[in-house]
Amino acid sequence: MTVITATFARPLATKCAVQHHTAPAPASAANEDVPADEVSARVARAAAYRKAEAARARLRAALARLVPPLLGIALFIGLWAMVSATSPQLPSPGRTFASAVDVFSHPFYRKGPNDQGIGWNILMSLQRVGIGFGLAALVGIPMGFVLGRFQFANAMSAPIISLLRPVSPLAWLPIGLMVFKAANPAAIWVIFISSIWPMIINTAVGVQRVPQDYLNVGRVLNLSEWKIVTHILFPAVLPYMLTGIRLAIGVAWLVIVAAEMLTGGVGIGFWVWDEWNNLNVEHIIIAIVVVGVVGWALEHLLLLLARRFNYV
C-alpha cells in the first residue's frame, strides 16, 4: 500500500513543482521596477510607430494608384514622340505643349463670330449638351417609369425603340435642320434624340426588377399610384436611373462634337473643323485632349452623384 501511494504521489508532487516554477509573475510584480517615465516613453514610441506605419501605408496606396496611370501616360507620350519623329506632319509632344500653353493663356478672347477662344467654344458646347441632355432626362426618365410599370405600354413601344435606337446620331441632323431651320436647335435635337434611349431603357429595366413584395405592400396599404412611384419605385430604381444618365451624358458629349462640325458656329466641334481648315494640327490634338478631359470630368461627376444617392 505504501509503495502504491508513493508511486502516485511522486508524479503529483512533480506536477505541482512544475506549476510552481512556471507560473507567471503578477503584473504588479513585473512592472514594479519600471519607472512611470519609462512606461510613458514606451507608450509614446508605440503610438509614433503606429502613426508612421499608417503614413507609410497611405503612401504605398497613393503610389499604387498614381504610378500605373503615370507610366501609361509616359508610354503614350513616348510612342507619340517616336511616331512624330518619323512623320513630319504629326507635331511632336513638345510642339503641341507649347501651342497648348499659348491657347490656354488667353482662352476667352473674341475677334469675331467665328474667331473666339477655346474657353467660349467649350462653354457653348456644354450649354448645348446641358439643354439637350436636360430635355432628354425630362422626357426619358418618366417614359422609362411608364414602360417599366405597364406591360401594355412596354409591348407597344418596344418595336419603335428597337427601330430608332440603333440609328446613327448624325442621321437625325437633317431632320432637325428641316424642322427648326437653324443649326443651334438642330444640334440640341441631335443630342436629345441620341441621349434619351439609355435613360428610357435603364429606367424601365430598373422598374421591372423591383421585387413584387414591395408592390404588394403598397397595395395592402392602399397607396395611390403616385405614392407607389415616389415612395417605392423611385428609391429602388435610382441606381439603374443613374446608370442610364451616365451613359446618356457620354453619348451627348460624343454627339455634340460631330454635330458642331457639320452645323458650324461656336463650339468645340466647330473649333476642330476650323483648325483643320487652317491646317493647324497642334490645335486639333489640343481639342481632342480637351474633349476627352471634359467627357471624363462629366462622367466622374455623375459617378460621385451615383455614390451619393446609392442608398438602396
What does the pLDDT look like over 205-221, one tens digit per residue? Answer: 999 988 888 888 888 88
CA distance 152 to 199: 19
pLDDT for position 71 = 92
CA distance 178 to 33: 96
What does the pLDDT look like over 264-289, one tens digit per residue? Answer: 778 898 888 888 888 889 999 999 99
What does the pLDDT look like over 227-269, one tens digit per residue? Answer: 888 888 888 888 899 889 989 998 999 898 888 888 877 889 8
Cα dihedral 193→127→281→75 (10° resolution): -80
103's grid cell: 491657347
User: Stretch 21-27: mean pLDDT, rounded?
Assistant: 44
Residue 4 pLDDT class (50, 70, 90 cuts) = very low
pLDDT for position 32 = 52
Neighbours of 266 (CB within 10 A): 21
pLDDT at 187 over 70: yes
What does the pLDDT look like over 101-131, one tens digit per residue? Answer: 998 998 888 887 777 888 899 999 999 999 9
How far does Cα 241 stand from its chain's mean position?
14
Most confident option among 190-204, 209-223, 231-245, 292-306 = 190-204
**What mean pLDDT value characterizes the chain?**
83
- pTM across the whole model: 0.74
**Torsion-angle region of 112 (φ positive above 0: left; ψ -120 to 50: alpha; else: beta):** left
CA distance 312 to 235: 7
pLDDT at 2 over 60: no
User: Stretch 22-29: mean pLDDT, rounded?
Assistant: 44
Please name the amino acid found at residue 15: K
Enumerate the β-bridge partners of residue 18: none
pLDDT at 7 over 80: no
Residue whose C-alpha is closest to residue 91's, from 256, 285, 236: 285
Q: CATH homologous superfamily of domain 96-309?
A: MetI-like (1.10.3720.10)
pLDDT for position 33 = 64
Residue whose C-alpha is closest to residue 259's, from 187, 196, 167: 187
User: Stretch 163-191: mean pLDDT, rounded?
Assistant: 90
Alpha helices by DSSP H, listed for 87-172, are 93-105, 118-149, 151-164
pLDDT at 38 over 90: no
pLDDT for position 34 = 65
Per-domain boundaries in the chain: 38-90, 96-309
